[in-house]
Amino acid sequence: MPMAYSADILDQLTQEYLPAIEKELVQGVSQTAHVGLAALHGMLAYHMGWEGEGAGPDARGKRIRPLLVILSCASAGGNWEQALPAASAVELVHNFSLIHDDIEDNSPLRHRRPTLWKLWGIPQAINAGDAMFALAHLEILRLEETISPNVAVRAAKLLQQTCLHLTQGQYLDLSYESRSNLTLDDYWPMISGKTAALVAACTQLGALVAGVDLERQNRFNEFGHYLGLAFQARDDLLGIWGDAELTGKSAESDLVTGKKSLPVLYGLSKKGAFAKRWSQDSISPDEVVYVARMLESEGGQSYSEQIAAKLTDQALQALISTHPEGAAGQALQQLVDRLLNRKV
Amino acid sequence: MPMAYSADILDQLTQEYLPAIEKELVQGVSQTAHVGLAALHGMLAYHMGWEGEGAGPDARGKRIRPLLVILSCASAGGNWEQALPAASAVELVHNFSLIHDDIEDNSPLRHRRPTLWKLWGIPQAINAGDAMFALAHLEILRLEETISPNVAVRAAKLLQQTCLHLTQGQYLDLSYESRSNLTLDDYWPMISGKTAALVAACTQLGALVAGVDLERQNRFNEFGHYLGLAFQARDDLLGIWGDAELTGKSAESDLVTGKKSLPVLYGLSKKGAFAKRWSQDSISPDEVVYVARMLESEGGQSYSEQIAAKLTDQALQALISTHPEGAAGQALQQLVDRLLNRKV
């Protein structure tokens, strides 16, 4: 991989791509703004971080997924503007799943703002999520306009298969709540569906739009798959030994919320003191430091660090195998470094 | 329209088409039956009436929508077998919306069986509906295999626009629950989205698959639109003055469930004794006969009958304008007659 680009090439490209992505998203969602339906549009615009109290960049998330589509397309030698419908579509799928997950997980806040169901009630929030789902697929079909009907069908099938995979991951996550005998083997199918499937779709969609052959598309898919898994393993580590712990926000610890994360499932597999404590009762913020140390002493942290490092390496190897080109290829490597080496 | 076919041509064709439709549906839904995900597949198979307690034809509904797709395709001169993915897709969209509507409307029963959310809880039922939604769109994209990528994109766009329209109708329906000033003007945009949009998509999809020009497709769309509206107006009449009333099942009356039906909105527009009683408190089964007579005396029944008759006539005129061909064309007319002249 050539190193001819500046150290902030990712930031430079992000500044170029993000406004175009946001514009495509706004146009896609505006299809709900029919006469008399301004309120439905308003719910979606609130969720997207464009309207309502607290609207702004902090309410929008990082738009990592659409950036991955665009960067993958450009690094595969494609015209990134042709990939905008795919970039917008994956972000809308991501947000559709967030709206429904927030209901399913009973989450009152997202990006420090009340969730849709908290403000509008569960029935309207389910329905708004369905509208976002339909908009996502109208977006991906716009690839017909930027490229061809054939590519639009390929991309739409890939995205719908991914949505099915998302629901399979979510099914497992929800079903684990009532299970007391979880082990490490239960982690990977859940995370493959909930996190890695959509990231893999992002990178493959970029390559598909660029028009590369199926073998190179599959390498892009593999890159996204490992990137998604590595990101999740890292996120799970930070959920117990990250910022919340360091800064005393114990109430936000994954140990308190009961998340079935990699370190936790490792600890349950060991059937030691941690597993015993976990099975008894929910963990209070006061106990977080103690229980985290218990899990650490049983090897949960070092095991997860090893897994995260291995997955990061696999992601980078897969990226190299895609033969990433030019500034976008360089930016993709920077994006991997930043995502997977973050401390908070 | 030629009258050369027997009086039971609809029944004959239904017997030919239904097994093929059901086979296509079973194959589509089987994509969720991955290893370890038999339970998610089981939820969908239960909802479709294939598995679990009470499974069987009575639990499946009449499959009217896929039949409309197939009959429209054949009556437009197309090869009905090519339309099977579209037929299956509209039925899956219909069932996705039922799964979510049952949650949103707090409905415990469908086809006299417990609803998904009653058996598996709201989170898993939302997620199962999402899986059904994704399956519907994977199905419509199968038109690529039976016809071409271009037709698959046209059909998928039409179906996604319809889904968006469904969510708009449902948004209005839910928002009316908290409004005390509803009038007749509020009825049509809700019903256009909730009922007529999908029926119009069925008839247009059949014509699209048959390969007719856009003008004739639009006439098929118009036929489905009026058929859907007429069906809903008739259904609303039966919900107050139909079987439940005649046989004493007052608890199932739309007056008790509080449905914003055509006669009810007519009565509210009149701002008379009915509107006053409706605004006070929910209506108990004991009061149904009395309140129904009140609405009848204010003209709610005769007005709705007139509207239903006019819409039925518009549906038949639109059907004639499509120039329906052969046995399927004759069967379509029989289907309209049966749907719109039913007494129970």
Q: Do B175 and A134 touch (CB under 8 A)?
A: no
Give the per-residue pLDDT at B103. 97
User: What tokens were used for A310?
Assistant: 């291995």
Q: What pLDDT does residue A341 have?
A: 79
The kind and range of the H/E element at A113 are: strand A113-114
Residue B31 and residue A104: Cβ atoms within 8 Å? no
Residue B306: pLDDT over 60: yes
Cβ neighbours around B335 below 10 Å, total:
19
pTM for the model stands at 0.94
Which of B232, B303, B236, B243 is CA-nearest to residue B267? B303
Q: What is the pLDDT of residues B18-34, one digit of tens each?
A: 999 999 999 999 987 66
Helix (H) or strand (E) holding A320: helix A300-321
For B199-252, the pLDDT digits (tens) are: 999 999 999 999 999 999 999 999 999 999 999 999 999 999 986 555 556 767
Q: Is residue B259 part of a domain?
A: yes
pLDDT of residue A37: 75
- Which residues 222-241 of chain A have a CB within 8 Å of chain B? none
pLDDT digits (tens, 9 = 90+) for A206-221: 999 999 999 999 999 9
What does the pLDDT read at residue B246?
56
Which one of B31, B126, B137 has the shortest CB-CB distance to A104? B126
Range of the domain at A288: 9-335
Cross-chain Cβ contact A126/B100 below 8 Å: yes
Q: Which residues have CB under 8 Å from A29's CB, separation 6+?
A: A41, A44, A45, A48, A92, A132, A135
How confident is the model over A168-182, as a mean pLDDT?
89
pLDDT (0 to 100) of residue A25: 96
Instruction: Give A39's contacts in chain B (Cβ within 8 Å).
Output: 171, 175
A50 touches chain B (CB under 8 A): no
Which residues of A, range 154-193, sit inside 8 Å of B by Cβ? 156-157, 160-161, 163-164, 166-168, 170-172, 174-175, 189
CB atoms within 10 A of CB A46: 21
Q: What is the largest CA-CA distance in chain A?
A: 61
**Which chain A residue has its CA at the smallest distance from B162's CA?**
A134
Distance CA(A329)–CA(A9), nearest Å, equals 10
State the CATH number of the domain containing residue A30: 1.10.600.10
Asked if the Cβ–Cβ distance from B168 to A31 is below 8 Å, we say no
Kindly report the nearest CA distance between residue A92 and chain B, in angstroms: 14
The pair of structure tokens assigned to A240 is 């117990």
Q: Phi and psi (nearest 5°) for A210?
A: -70, -15
Q: Which percentage of chain B shows pLDDT scores above 90?
A: 82
pLDDT by residue (tens digit) across A94-104?
999 999 999 99
pLDDT in tens, A241-300: 986 555 556 767 889 888 899 999 999 999 999 999 998 888 998 889 899 999 999 999
Check CB contact under 8 Å for B163 and A104.
no
Give the distance from residue B342's alpha carbon to the nearest chain A alpha carbon, in angstroms.
32
Residues of A in contact with B97 (CB under 8 A): 130
Q: What pLDDT digit, counting tens, does each position of B76-133 carry? A: 999 999 999 999 999 999 999 999 999 999 999 999 999 999 999 999 999 999 999 9
Between the CA of residue A301 and those of A28, A264, A333, B263, what are the distances in Å?
42, 9, 26, 65
Quick check: B289 and B250 in contact, CB under 8 A?
A: yes
Of A123, A133, A164, the CB nearest to B174: A123
Q: Sorting pLDDT into bands at 50, 70 and 90, what band is A38?
A: confident
Amino acid at residue number B78: G
- Residue B109 φ then ψ, to 5°: -130, 145
Does B146 lie at the interface with A, CB-CB under 8 angstroms? Answer: no
Say what angle helices A300-321 and A214-241 make with each other, to 10 degrees. 160
- Asked whether A55 and A32 are in contact (CB, 8 A), the reply is no
**Cα-Cα-Cα-Cα dihedral sign, residues A321, A322, A325, A328:** negative
Between B64-75 and B197-210, two packed helices, what is the crossing angle to 10 degrees? 30
User: How confident is residue B329, by pLDDT bands cut at 50, 70 and 90?
Assistant: very high
Interior CA angle at A100 toward A96 and A106, to 5°? Answer: 145
Task: Say how far apart CA A67 and CA A73 lie, in whole Å.
Answer: 10
Query: Which tokens sit at B240?
Result: 């107050």
Cα–Cα distance for residue pair A106/A124, rounded to 1 Å: 15
Mapping DSSP to helix (H, G, I), strand (E, B) and coil, where does residue A133 land? helix
Distance from CA of A293 to the nearest CA of B (A): 33
Q: Which of B127, B166, B171 sits opposite A174 (nearest CB)?
A: B127
With H, G, I as helix, E, B as strand and everything else as coil, classify residue A114: strand
Contact in structure between B174 and A127 (CB atoms under 8 Å): yes
Mutate which of B153, B166, B172 to test chain A, going by most A C-beta atoms within 10 A? B153
Helix (H, G, I), strand (E, B) or coil at B54: coil
Test A40 with B130 for CB contact under 8 angstroms: no
Q: 269-328 in B: which are within 8 Å (CB) of A?
A: none
Q: Which residues of B touch A189 (CB under 8 A)?
A: 36
Distance (Å, rounded) from C-alpha A180 to C-alpha B323?
63
Whole-complex ipTM: 0.94
pLDDT at B333 over 90: yes
Q: Which residues of A61-93 are buried (b: 16+ CB within 10 A; e: fewer)?
A: bebbbbbbbbbbbbbbbbebebbbbbbbbbbbb
At A173, the pLDDT band (50, 70, 90 cuts) reads very high
In a domain, B3, yes or no: no
> Can you tell me whether residue A62 is helix, strand or coil?
coil
Average pLDDT score over residue span B298-303: 96
- Higher pLDDT residue, A33 or B328? B328
Q: Identify whether B4 is part of a domain.
A: no
Q: How far is CA A84 from CA A72, A202, A206, A216, B107, in A?
A: 12, 12, 10, 20, 41
Give residue A71's pLDDT: 98
CA B50, CA B286: separation in Å to the nearest integer? 37
Residues of chain B contacting residue A92, judged by C-beta atoms under 8 Å apart: none
Q: At B110, which helix (H) or strand (E)?
A: strand B109-110
Categorize the per-residue pLDDT at B320 as very low, low, confident or very high, splitting at 50, 70 and 90.
very high
Residue A4 covered by a domain = no
Count of alpha carbons within 13 Å of B223, Cβ hemisphere only?
32
What pLDDT score was predicted for residue B157? Answer: 97
Instruction: With CA atoms as reference, report the closest residue to A224 among A110, A80, A339.
Output: A339
Q: Within an 8 Å CB–CB cutoff, is residue A150 touching chain B?
A: yes
Amino acid identity of residue B119, one-letter, is: L
Interface test with B, best of A164, A172, A185 (most B CBs within 10 A): A164
Residue in A84, B18, B226 with CA at minimum distance from that of residue B234: B226
Q: Map tokens 């680009």 to a residue.
A: A5
Task: From residue A73, give the alpha-carbon distance in Å to each of A70, A113, A204, A329.
Answer: 5, 33, 9, 10
Tell me, yes or no, whether A152 lies in a domain.
yes
1-40 of B, contacting A, C-beta below 8 A: 31-32, 34, 36-37, 39-40
pLDDT of residue A344: 39
3-class DSSP state of A214: helix
Which pLDDT does position B118 carry in this prediction?
97
Q: How many residues does chain A have?
A: 344
| Residue whose pair of structure tokens reads 């007529």 in the numeric block | B196
B235 in any annotated domain: yes
- Domain membership flag for residue B1: no
- Which residues does A211 contact at the CB level (< 8 Å), separation at least 6? A78, A151
pLDDT, residue A148, reads 96
User: Residue A136: is its pLDDT beyond 50?
Assistant: yes
Residues 6+ apart with CB under 8 A from B315: B223, B226, B227, B229, B230, B336, B340
Q: Does pLDDT of A342 surpass 60?
A: no
CA of A145: which chain B residue's CA is closest?
B153
Residue A246 contacts by C-beta under 8 Å, 6 or more apart in sequence? A344
Per the CB < 8 Å rule, is A168 touching B126? no
Contact residues, chain A, for B168 at CB < 8 Å = 32, 34, 37, 40, 131
Secondary structure element (H or E) that encloses residue B203, with its range:
helix B197-210
Q: Which residues of A touch B103 (CB under 8 A)?
A: 122-123, 126
Tens digits of residue pLDDT in A139-159: 999 999 999 999 999 999 999
A67: in domain? yes
Give the model's pLDDT for residue A86: 98
The number of distinct structural domains making up chain B is 1
What pLDDT, on a 0 to 100 scale, did the predictor assign at position B344?
39
Q: What is the pLDDT of residue A340?
A: 82
